[in-house]
Amino acid sequence: MSLHLVFSPAGLEACSSRWQSGDKFVLLGNGVYAHKQALDVGIQPTDLHLLGPDAEARGISSEATGSPVSIDYPAFVELTLQCSPIVSWNE
């Protein structure tokens, strides 16, 4: 399973045709703004993660997003250890 690091809404758009079922996603930086867009393209809520500090810095709470899981840095590192390859998206 791949891990997609999405740094912007445009990055999610570029990624949207290349992911496979079961892949994991971390929205970080300005990518946290794409949380609704990610669900709209069919990414499962259990596979979608928001980097908590980045979301908080932009005024986005995981409760307000409805489904994505907010993670901290240790959980982010754990995902990088579980997944291969790791692909970054920032258009």
Confidence class of residue 64 from pLDDT cuts 50, 70 and 90? Answer: low
3-state secondary structure of 58: coil
Place of tokens 């912007």: 8
Give the pLDDT confidence of 5-52 residue by residue, as tens digits: 999 999 999 998 899 999 999 999 999 999 999 989 999 989 999 999
| Max CA pair span of the chain | 31
Q: What's the confidence (pLDDT) of residue 65?
A: 54
The domains of the chain, with CATH numbers, are 3-89 (3.40.1260.10)
3-state secondary structure of 21: coil
CA torsion through residues 8, 38, 34, 77, sign: negative
